[in-house]
Amino acid sequence: MSDILRVTTEDRICQVLMNRPDKKNALTLEMYQGLTDAMLAADANPEVRVIMLGSTGDSFCAGNDIADFIAASSQPDAIKVPLFFLQTLASLTTPLIAVVPGAAVGIGTTILLHCDLVIASDQARFQLPFARLGLVPEGGSSLLMPQLVGHRRAFELLVLGDSFSAETASGLGLVNWVVAQDSLQAKALHEATKLAALAPEAVRQSKAMLRSHTQSQLEAVLVAEVNQFAERLTSEEAREALMAFMQKREPDFSRF
């Protein structure tokens, strides 16, 4: 695996770090594939009792790489790689802890809906700018976000798409703990170590039980969202928004 991911396993904890800090850990197809492989390997490893997903640099993840989005609009199969990553996340049997130091945008935030614990720095910012990009929600968020916060807050987050603070994320139930930046890793390791010391089968069964009520619905939603998302990527609205990002300007939807 190239250096876009760093994976280490120690004391029953597998740490997976997204490592593309100059691009705020925006996810390329190669990173999705690497994350999927790392998660599947950790989940199948009986030595691993907790998976921690974190990042290098000041951001958690700036979402899908926008240049890849533009390329994907002419390669419909490209969407299968992120879908397999999401399906893997949603079906992990090992507890997953996210460690969020800074920006978590798009799938950088929807990933969190699949985590069992989320620890964020007080510097973290969250954003779901799907409609702003001419796109629709992904990552199971059209199901999981209304379940978490109700329709109106979900609409606000997923459609208006303003960024929000770690404090707000905690109030919404998206984040368990908000801590100072310099104690983020220590707090995450502390919680991971506690979890890794618990009876492993009881933990796995508890996770499965909590997830079981929505699992089959979630699997169907992930596929439906990705198909609609892929269709939106080919739209003029999305083209305008994505080009605007690349050209560092505001999109103009007035002609639609």
Instruction: Give the residue, chosen from 42, 51, 66, 115, that forms a contact with ligand COA under the rule CB under 6 A.
Output: 66
Site stretch for ligand COA (CB under 6 A), options 10-18, 40-48, 57-65, 212-220: 57-65
Q: CB-based burial of residue 77 (10 Å sphere; 0-12 exposed, 13-18 middle, 19+ buried)?
A: exposed
Strand order in the sheet with 13-18: 5-10, 13-18, 50-55, 96-100, 117-121, 177-179
Site stretch for ligand COA (CB under 6 A), options 71-79, 100-108, 198-206, 209-217: 100-108
Considering the complex, what minimum distance in angstroms separates the CB of residue 184 from ligand COA? 18
Calculate Rg over the CA atoms of the chain. 17
Nearer to ligand COA, 32 or 42 (CB): 32
| Closest by Cα among 95, 97, 99 to 178 | 99
CA dihedral sign of residues 210, 128, 79, 57: negative
| Closest by Cα among 82, 73, 80 to 28 | 82
DSSP 8-state secondary structure symbol assigned to residue 158: I
Alpha carbon distance 182, 190 (integer Å): 14
Considering the complex, what minimum distance in angstroms separates the CB of residue 96 from ligand COA? 21
Task: Build a one-symbol-per-residue string for 120-159: x at contacts with ligand COA by CB under 6 A, - elsewhere.
Answer: ---------xx--x--------------------------
Site stretch for ligand COA (CB under 6 A), options 34-42, 65-73, 79-87, 166-174: 65-73
Number of residues lying near ligand COA (CB under 6 A): 16
| Closest by Cα among 27, 20, 137 to 72 | 27
103 contacts ligand COA (rule: CB under 6 A): yes
5-10 and 13-18 as β-strands: parallel, antiparallel, unpaired? Answer: antiparallel
CA distances from 143 to 85, 95, 176, 181 (A): 18, 21, 20, 31
23 contacts ligand COA (rule: CB under 6 A): yes
What single letter denotes the amino acid at residue 35?
L
Considering the complex, what minimum distance in angstroms separates the CB of residue 23 from ligand COA? 4
Instruction: Give the residue, chosen from 19, 36, 59, 141, that forms a contact with ligand COA under the rule CB under 6 A.
Output: 59
Instruction: Please report, as residue ranges, which positions from 152 to 181 form the binding site for ligand COA (by CB under 6 A).
Output: none
Nearer to ligand COA, 72 or 103 (CB): 103
Where residue 37 falls (left for φ over 0; alpha for ψ -120 to 50; beta otherwise) is alpha
Nearer to ligand COA, 128 or 143 (CB): 128
Instruction: Give the residue, chosen from 54, 106, 139, 251, that forms a contact with ligand COA under the rule CB under 6 A.
Output: 106
Q: Which residues pair with 178 in a beta bridge?
A: 120
Site stretch for ligand COA (CB under 6 A), options 21-29, 37-45, 180-188, 217-225: 21-29
Interface ranges with ligand COA (CB under 6 A): 23-24, 26, 59, 62-67, 103, 105-106, 129-130, 133
